[in-house]
Amino acid sequence: MVQNKIEKSDTEWKNILTPEQYHVLRQKGTERPFSGNLYYNKEKGVYTCAACGQELFSSSTKFESGSGWPSFYDVISSDRVRLQEDTSYFMNRIEVVCARCGSHLGHVFEDGPEPTGKRYCINSVSLGFRKEDEAAKEKGKE
């Protein structure tokens, strides 16, 4: 279930995000490949939106794509993200945004592993991470 939508002004986002997070999440930027701290993360847990905390991806769907960005073959629930056409930079891609706050996460491609065949290629700076035991504690509070 998607939590209540979050709407903030650019000034508010700038006050709570780092400059790099703001550039990627709010201005649809991209971090350099292989530079994000979560690209190498192998721990079990839940990946969240760095801007609003909504749970997006499970570590059980993370895989090594060789792309340089964290890759997942599925989302926790389809209502957690919105997919929209992106024709920037003279390319046709599908952008992935957080359904709760509208932040840019990355793109999805049709070259992933089974069972979905999808590769959600997500900027590490767009994500937070909660270890499995921390995520379980959070679920108990809801």
Please tell me the distance from the alpha carbon of residue 33 to that of residue 67, in angstroms, as a whole number.
Answer: 7
pLDDT at residue 112 is higher than 90: yes
21: its two tokens: 């997070």
Please tell me the distance from the alpha carbon of residue 74 to that of residue 135, in angstroms, as a whole number.
Answer: 18
**137 — pLDDT class (breaks 50, 70, 90):** low
Tell if the pTM clears 0.85, that is, is over it.
yes
Which sequence positions are flagged as catalytic? 121
> Model confidence over 51-72: pLDDT tens digits?
999 999 999 999 999 999 999 9
According to DSSP, the residues that pair with 85 across neighbouring strands are: 94
C-beta of residue 43 within 8 angstroms of C-beta of residue 129: yes
Q: What is the DSSP letter of 49?
A: E
**114 — pLDDT class (breaks 50, 70, 90):** very high
Please tell me the distance from the alpha carbon of residue 65 to that of residue 59, in angstroms, as a whole number.
Answer: 14
Report CA-CA distances (Å) from 136 to 28, 128, 141. 31, 15, 9
